[in-house]
Structure formats: C-alpha cells, structure tokens
Chains A and B, each alone.
Chain A
Amino acid sequence: MSTVLKIISWKSEGLRCPDHSVSFLNSADEVYPISLLQMPNGTGKTTTLELLRAALSGSAGKWDKDKIRSFRKRDSDDDRGSFQVTLLFNESRITLTLEFNFDDDTVAYSTTKPGIGLEKGFNPPRDLKKFLNDSFVNFFVFDGELAEQLLDRNYTNAQRIIEDLFQINLISSISSAVDRFWSSVAESKSAKEERGLSRRRNRVDDLKEILGKRKQERGTLEKERDKAAKALKKRNEQFHSELSQQREIREQLLEAERQYKDLTAKVYLSAKEVLDEIRNPHSLSHRFADEMATLKTSLDRVKLPESTAREFFEELADEERCICGRELDDDSRKAIKERSKNYLGSDDVSLLNQIKTDITNFIGPSTGQHEENLDLSIEALKSACQREMEAKTFRDQIEHEGVLNDPKLEKVRAEIDGWEQKLAQINAELLKYDNLDESASDSSTFGISILAKRLANAEKQLAEITQTIELKQKRDLLVNLLKVAQDRALQGLSEEIGQQANERISALMPDNAIRIESIDRCLNLRGQEGGSVGETLSVAYAFLATLFNRAEHQLPFVVDSPANPIDLKIRSKVAELIPKLADQFIAFTISSERQSFVSGLEKAAPGQILYLTLFRKGPNDLEQKAKLFTTTETDDGISVEGAPFFNDFHVDTEENNNVL
C-alpha cells in the first residue's frame, strides 16, 4: 500500500524554544506544498528540529535525564512541557505528543489515531512504522550533517534509504518465510536414525543461534562505530569552530586546511593513475616487456602458430586423394592423422595470433618506455604525498599555536584522541566478523560467511537424514533466486537513481564536474572523496529528489537551511528543484539565504508558499512592526504570517539573541 504522509501542524509549550503553534493548512484546509519558516540561527530552531525528529521517530525514549532537562524553558518554574505534531496519513489524522515532566526529568509519548483514540506510548499505525523510526526520519527531516553522511563510507545510509523506500527488504522476509516452512517440515519428519537426526538438528539449531548472535554483535558494534564517528566529528567541529574564533589564525588555518584537502585529493587521483599503469605488466618492468617481446619473436622464428591448422590435415585424411593428387591408402591416412596432432587447432592458432598482436600493440617498438612512464607517475605520486605531508604539518602547526593560545582546546583535543582510539578499536573489533579462518570451532568462530557456510552444510546433512532433500533443494533455489532478485533490484535501482541524480546535478551545476560514480553504503563520487558544503548539499538534494520522485510513498521533506551553503548562482536552480522533491516541503530558513532562493521558489511554485517568521518576544520595535501584520502571540514568542514581513526580516535582527 502506498503511503501519503503530511505534517498538518505542530505545537510547542513550556520548552526551551518560545511557545509556538504552526499550521501548514491553507484556507481550503489543504497542506501548503511549500512552507518557509524563518527562524534565524540560534537554539530555538535546533530545538524545534530536534523535537520534531523525536516526535516523529520515537527516539526520545532513549534520552537520559540530562538530555531531557536540557529542553526545560530557561528561568521558568513550570515543570511541564509538551511538543505535539499532527500528521495526515492517507487522509487520517494522527497526533504524536511528547510530554515532558521536569519534576523527575522524564518524557512520555502519547498517540492519537482514528478508531483507537488516545493511547499511551509511541504507537504510529503499522504501515507508518517503517518510516517513523530513528534512521528513516533523518532522511525527510534533513540537514547538512545528513548530506555529509550520505557521502561518508562510515555511514550506511545511502543504500538503506533505497532499501527502505522501495521496501526491498520485503524480499528477504519472503526468504525467511520459505526457510521457516522448510524447517517445520524437516522437524516433523520421522528419522531413520533418531540419534543422528537429533545430533544434526542440534547442529543446525546451534549454528543458527551462533550466526544470529554474531550478526547481532556486529550490528551493535556498527552502531557503536557510527556513534563514535559522530562524536568524533562533533568534537572535531567544536575544535575547529573554537580555533577559528581566534582571529589571528582563522584565515591562515582556513587556507592551510584548503591546501591540505586539495593535496589529499591530488594524492588520491595520482595513486589511481599509478594503479592504472601498474595493471599493465609491461609497465611494471622493462624486463617483463622484453620477455614478452622475446616470446613473440621466438614464436615468429619457429613459425608458431603455423599457417596451416590441424583441422586441414584431419580433413585431408578423410579424402580419397592427397592434394598432390596421390591416392591415399589407410597407412597414409593414419600417418596424416597422427602427425596432424603436431599442429595447433584453428582456435589455438587464432588465440596465439591474437596474443602476438596484443604484444605488438601494447608494447610497441620501445620496451622500456612504459616503465619510464610508470616511474614518472610514481615520482609524481611521491611528490604529491610529500606536499600533502608538508601541508598537514603546516596545518597542524597552526592548530598547535591555536591550542597554545587557548588551553581549553587541549581538553577537546584529548577527547578527539580518545574518540579516534575508540573508533580504531571498534573497527579492529569489527574485522573479526569478516575473518575467513575455518579452523576454529563453531562457538569460537566469528567469521559470518564461514558460519553461514557451515550452516548450509549442516542443513544439507539434516535434509539428507530427514529425507527432505528435494524440498531443501527447492528452498535453496528459491532463496537464492530471491537473493539474486534482491541484489539485482538494489543494484538496478542504485544505478538508475545514480544516473538520474547525475542528470539533476548536471542541471543544477552545469559548470561543475562533480558526479555520483556509484551507490553502495554511501554515495561514491567520481574521482573525488568529497565536495564543498554547497556541492555536498546539491548532490544530496539531487539524490533525494530522484528517490522521492520515483517511490510510491509520498513523505514530507523538512530541511534546515536549504540554501545557505549554496552559491548564489545555484540557489535559484535548487529552488526550482524543491517543488519536485516532495508534495510538502518545509524549510527552516534564515534571512541571509533568501537571496535568489525565495524568488526561485516563487517562480517554481507561484501562490503555493506559506511564509512564517517566528521570533522571541523582546525587541519592542520588531513587536510593533509585527503587529501591523497577521500575528499569533504566546507568552514568549510571536509568529507572523505572510511574505511582506518575511522578506523584510533582516540579518542584523537575527544576530541578537531575541530569536527563537
């Protein structure tokens, strides 16, 4: 069943952000295709996004007391707070509410849905659960951080979104059902040898349990790895952000970082070039080239392959007369057939000729030239590595100076070291699950593929004794077919989505060569590991736009600062893309990103945009000005509807602290 999900409204009360209520319905009670919420940079916007993600994903259940306390309104005695989001799911209304109790720092969910009414807990309808979870919500409540993660191998999210959105995992659930059916049949069969049966059945059960346990352990470690990677990234950002506060080194550091990144990219490309050359044996050593040339010359010298193939003599032996006209008797025929074996067959002749041609074509007249070229490429690679190392040392020196200027940074750096160690430790730990060693016992084996192979053998042995071989063969065939179908579906979808996303990237940035090479765990870029913030965001938009346009499920798309890091000339193109991203697009914007972006949106979706500006009460002139428009007031916040106020809201207004 397809899913159409929209956000109708949300309401926040008694929490860190000013109390506010936002409705995305127009006068005809329909959801605006595009809603722009001008909530300038500051804690309120981040808090609202965090609350929205938590309300939609059920993730607040994992929050600790400190985290919960952090949502309490400042200088407030009120010990209650709530955040409620109302959704439209296939024409039914659902509300998800987060209720905060700051007396004991707890948070609880409640859900209202048709036919059931209000119930405690996070209980969205079953069909929505696959979208309303911690990992998936991040795809449609989106920010720059996720855009970066889509291009980062440490996160598995690019392929997962394809699997989830196109429900490819349904195929593996069919496999599980087939497997369960076979197991139940095998179990009910009476055995010829009861003891043997019991032993084999126990082995299958044990291996299933161990394999399941290993997969679970690996999954837990992968989650820990993602968590550590995120923490490390956060600390690094904090370190660099605090470092860049030091005006005297900021510019110097930015330039050093840029140079280091450029050189890292050069090293990467240079290494790829060297690898390409090394893939030619004749480039690796002039001696190899000489020896292949000698082989060809020697074959020519001894006239191999001959101009006549074995088949000629075999056919001749069946003729009445030799080509010289002499009549052939049985002895002559036998001799011709026997000696024909000294000749190569026509296929052999053809292959040897092709080999000789390839030697000539690949190696050419100068056997030493290829190695000289490789040596030059290796020198270029070494030089690039050297320059990269120097750039790194230079950047580290500036960082070191910064740390000396601000001792607080020492602590952050120590934390970075700690997380790096932790990450390295987890990655090392994860390797044992790929181990291919077959010598250990089942319970001491960690290699998942080895355990899977042993399980397959154990099941085969069980099938033999339970006389269910034929059924097992059918099960294996079906499970394999399903696996192939799943892999092909994922590969096909990934390739098509990558190709279509590239067309979008090309339209967004015609002068930029950045393209998606392939999609596996992450989006792999062609010839580079990453892009600028703007490039990364554009690639992510193009990828998500392609996905959301293809899938039968329509989900809202909520984005924090959709255009801020993007160059002005690309902004209007991104704006044109946005109405195609989803049926409902909600953006948290700041005034500095209006330029080129809002006008582009208006052009792409005239008359379909909701403009809202939200800010904290305080500046008298701003409040007076707001009252000239349609406003909604709460104890500490004001929201103003309409384009005129939205477009008149200025950066300098945002930079004070009287904002959400």
Chain B
Amino acid sequence: MYFRLQKAAREWFRDISKDMPLDFDIYYLCLMTGLASGRKAEASQADTTDLTNDFPGVYRIKGRIITAFFLSQELKQLGISFTEKGALHTAIRGLVDPLSSSHLSDQGIKEINKYSFGGFEVLTEYFAKKHLDRPRNLETFLPMYKELIGEFGTTDN
C-alpha cells in the first residue's frame, strides 16, 4: 500500500514545491493539518497518485514518530480509552504492521491517507477564508501554516 497524494494538492502547492525537494513534504503538511484538525476525507483513486510506500529522505528517521502521532489521533477518533489494554491492543494491531516499510498496515495506510486528504481540505478552506487562492512562496506560507496548526492546538478537536 502506498501513501497517496491528491493531484489537486500537488497542483495547489506548485509555486512552493520547487523549494520542497520531496513530494512527501506536501503529503506531510496536509497530514499534519488533518491530524491536528481531526478531519478525514475520502479521495478517489483517479484523483490521487501513488507517492511512496515508505518514509522517504529526511522523513526516514521521523517515520516512527509520525506513526506515533497518527496512532494517538486515530485511537482518539476510534474512541479507544488508553486504559483499556485489550481494546488498545486490538486497535494498534489493526493499524501497524512491523514488516511494512511504512510501519503501517493496509488499514493504517488507508486511514492515514484520509487524514492527509482531509488536511488538504482544511488548508484550502483556511486560505479561502483569507481570500488567498494558494501559497505563492515558502517564506510566507510556513508562518501561516504554523498559525493554522496553532488554531487547532487551542481547542480539543
């Protein structure tokens, strides 16, 4: 199973993608927005492309910490109490696969992709609210991005 990137996201980030050497950067920025906001979305096979089946480049060493954050958010979404060992055990087993290069099971990849798709929706809505169509350069986008993530940080989503 692959991490999948929405074609529309690639297009939306086109002006700053030259400054982000990995396409996974786009996926990651959407993913973090999705995880922060708790928004999941579906996207069809035709609207997305296979990106990679592992954590590439600089993300290689961060793969497990990203997985950890995904687990913490997904377990919360599933309503799993962290004190219920059995439920926790079952849910984690369903989401991770130690033999997969992404550390995630097929189900885990399917769910993490949904956060990335949902995150992209949140990003575009946030830009629309500010009357902007898309990011034009990295130096102005990154502070805005952090501000957006901060907005979700102040409430329990």
* Min CB gap B138→A, angstroms: 5
Interface: A252 (CB within 8 A):
no
With A285-B153, A302-B83 as contacts: A359 and B142 at CB distance below 8 Å:
no
Alpha-carbon distance A282/B35, docked complex (angstroms) = 12
Judge whether A355 and B67 touch: CB under 8 Å.
yes
> Which A-chain residue is minimally distant from B76 (CB atoms)?
A291
- Note all chain B residues with C-beta closer than 8 A to A355: 64-65, 67-68, 71, 103
Alpha-carbon distance A287/B76, docked complex (angstroms) = 14
Interface: A251 (CB within 8 A):
no
Mask for A346-378, Cβ within 8 A of B = 1, else 0? 011011101100110010000000000011001
B window 102-119: CB within 8 A of A: 103
Mask for A385-396, Cβ within 8 A of B = 1, else 0? 100000000000
* Min CB gap B66→A, angstroms: 6
Judge whether B64 and A302 touch: CB under 8 Å.
no
The A/B interface has a contact count, at CB < 8 Å, of 138
Alpha-carbon distance A528/B89, docked complex (angstroms) = 49
Mask for B48-81, Cβ within 8 A of A = 1, else 0? 0100000000110010111111011101000000
A window 376-411: CB within 8 A of B: 378, 381-382, 384-385
Alpha-carbon distance A382/B141, docked complex (angstroms) = 11
Interface: A630 (CB within 8 A):
no
Interface: B129 (CB within 8 A):
no
With A295-B82, A355-B67 as contacts: A302 and B88 at CB distance below 8 Å:
yes
Mask for A265-305, Cβ within 8 A of B = 1, else 0? 00110111011101111101111100110111011011110
Question: A302: which of B36, B69, B85, B98 is its contact (CB, 8 Å)?
Answer: B85
Q: Most chain-B CB neighbours within 10 Å: which of A275, A298, A351, A382?
A: A275
Interface: A444 (CB within 8 A):
no
* Min CB gap B34→A, angstroms: 12
With A274-B142, A275-B138 as contacts: A298 and B83 at CB distance below 8 Å:
yes
- Note all chain B residues with C-beta closer than 8 A to A437: 7
Judge whether A385 and B139 touch: CB under 8 Å.
yes
Interface residues on A, range: 35 or more
A window 395-438: CB within 8 A of B: 431, 434-438
Judge whether A435 and B11 touch: CB under 8 Å.
yes
Mask for B125-157, Cβ within 8 A of A = 1, else 0? 000000000000011101101100110110000
- Note all chain B residues with C-beta closer than 8 A to A268: 139
Alpha-carbon distance A597/B25, docked complex (angstroms) = 47
With A351-B98, A355-B68, A378-B146 as contacts: A303 and B93 at CB distance below 8 Å:
no
Judge whether B142 and A436 touch: CB under 8 Å.
no
* Min CB gap B44→A, angstroms: 10
Judge whether A271 and B68 touch: CB under 8 Å.
no
Alpha-carbon distance A363/B47, docked complex (angstroms) = 36
Interface: A650 (CB within 8 A):
no
Judge whether B58 and A358 touch: CB under 8 Å.
no
> Which A-chain residue is minimally distant from B22 (CB atoms)?
A279
Judge whether A271 and B83 touch: CB under 8 Å.
no
Judge whether A286 and B65 touch: CB under 8 Å.
no
Judge whether A278 and B145 touch: CB under 8 Å.
yes
Alpha-carbon distance A281/B66, docked complex (angstroms) = 7
Judge whether A280 and B149 touch: CB under 8 Å.
no
With A278-B146, A288-B36, A304-B89 as contacts: A358 and B68 at CB distance below 8 Å:
yes
Judge whether A374 and B146 touch: CB under 8 Å.
yes
With A286-B153, A344-B89, A354-B64 as contacts: A292 and B69 at CB distance below 8 Å:
yes
Q: Most chain-B CB neighbours within 10 Å: which of A285, A288, A291?
A: A288
Judge whether B36 and A285 touch: CB under 8 Å.
yes
- Note all chain B residues with C-beta closer than 8 A to A270: 139
Question: A347: which of B7, B14, B73, B99 is its contact (CB, 8 Å)?
Answer: B99
* Min CB gap A33→B, angstroms: 41
Alpha-carbon distance A348/B89, docked complex (angstroms) = 10
Alpha-carbon distance A304/B64, docked complex (angstroms) = 16
With A284-B149, A286-B153, A355-B68 as contacts: A385 and B142 at CB distance below 8 Å:
no
Judge whether B85 and A303 touch: CB under 8 Å.
yes
Interface: A342 (CB within 8 A):
yes
Judge whether A284 and B139 touch: CB under 8 Å.
no
Judge whether A348 and B10 touch: CB under 8 Å.
no
Question: B82: which of A272, A294, A303 is its contact (CB, 8 Å)?
Answer: A294
Interface: B32 (CB within 8 A):
yes
- Note all chain A residues with C-beta closer than 8 A to B71: 295, 355
Interface: A199 (CB within 8 A):
no
Alpha-carbon distance A296/B28, docked complex (angstroms) = 22
Alpha-carbon distance A435/B11, docked complex (angstroms) = 8
Judge whether B98 and A350 touch: CB under 8 Å.
yes
- Note all chain A residues with C-beta closer than 8 A to B88: 298-299, 302, 304
- Note all chain A residues with C-beta closer than 8 A to B19: 271-272, 275
* Min CB gap A3→B, angstroms: 36
Judge whether A381 and B150 touch: CB under 8 Å.
no
Judge whether B49 and A280 touch: CB under 8 Å.
no
Alpha-carbon distance A347/B11, docked complex (angstroms) = 39
Alpha-carbon distance A272/B139, docked complex (angstroms) = 9
Judge whether A284 and B72 touch: CB under 8 Å.
no
Interface: B122 (CB within 8 A):
no
Q: Most chain-A CB neighbours within 10 Å: which of B139, B149, B150, B152?
A: B139
Alpha-carbon distance A294/B68, docked complex (angstroms) = 11
Judge whether B139 and A271 touch: CB under 8 Å.
yes
Judge whether A292 and B14 touch: CB under 8 Å.
no
Alpha-carbon distance A438/B32, docked complex (angstroms) = 28
Can you report 9 residue pairs joining A to B where beta carbons are below 8 Å apart?
Answer: A288-B36, A295-B68, A301-B82, A358-B68, A359-B68, A362-B62, A378-B146, A384-B139, A436-B49
Residues of B within 8 A of A (CB): 7, 10-11, 14, 18-20, 25, 28-29, 32, 35-36, 46, 49, 58-59, 62, 64-69, 71-73, 75, 82-86, 88-89, 92-93, 96, 98-99, 103, 138-140, 142-143, 145-146, 149-150, 152-153
Residues of A within 8 A of B (CB): 153, 267-268, 270-272, 274-276, 278-282, 284-288, 291-292, 294-296, 298-299, 301-304, 342, 344-345, 347-348, 350-352, 354-355, 358-359, 362, 374-375, 378, 381-382, 384-385, 431, 434-438
Query: 5 extra interchain contacts, Cβ-Cβ under 8 A, other than A271-B138, A275-B25, A295-B71?
Result: A278-B29, A282-B65, A282-B69, A434-B11, A434-B14
